Amino acid sequence: MDLATIVTALDLKVCCGADKLNRKVTGGFTGDLLSDVMAHSGEGDLWITRQIHQNIIAVASLKDHAGIVLVQGSEPARDTLEKAVTEGIPILVSDRPGFETAGMIYDILKVRGG
């Protein structure tokens, strides 16, 4: 499953990383506690979060996430966006709440395969 498919299915806004939407998504992780994300998320995960500050980029980069989905229409902070571009981490925005966003992505990955 590539990022582009998920972007289209959920009508996500692509804040950065439009050139990286062919990246493969192998799973997902939902969390706002960075230590939780560090410990339990995996490589290739799409990370769904409410956090918008720049430290999420270091976490996504260290964990080799496929990208970050900000929920509830949250826009990334400007320095977050700058860092995301430098590190090559796609940032996507969902207008839906976290529960719904995660559910839809889960469905897509489960039904259509990782």
Partner 1 sequence: MLAHETTLYENQFPVEGGNFDKAGQVSSQIKAILKRMNLSNEIIRRVALVSYESEINIVSYARKGYIHIQVKPDYVLIEAIDEGDGIPDLELAMQQGWSTASQRIREMGFGAGMGLCNIKNFSDFFRISSDVGKGTQLKMVIKIDKVFDGI
> Least Å distance between CB 34 and partner 1?
4
Nearer to partner 1 among residue 2 and residue 64 (C-beta)? 64
How near is the Cβ of 87 to partner 1 at its closest, in Å? 8
Q: x/- site string to partner 1, residues 2 to 41, per CB under 8 A?
A: ------------------------------xxxxx-xxx-
Rounded Cα distance between 28 and 14, Å, is 18
Of 18 and 38, nearer to partner 1 (C-beta) is 38
Largest CA distance in the chain: 36
Residues with Cβ < 8 Å from 2, sequence gap 6 or more?
Answer: 21, 22, 23, 24, 25
> Is residue 75 within the footprint of partner 1 (CB under 8 A)?
no
Dist CA 34 CA 60 (whole Å): 10
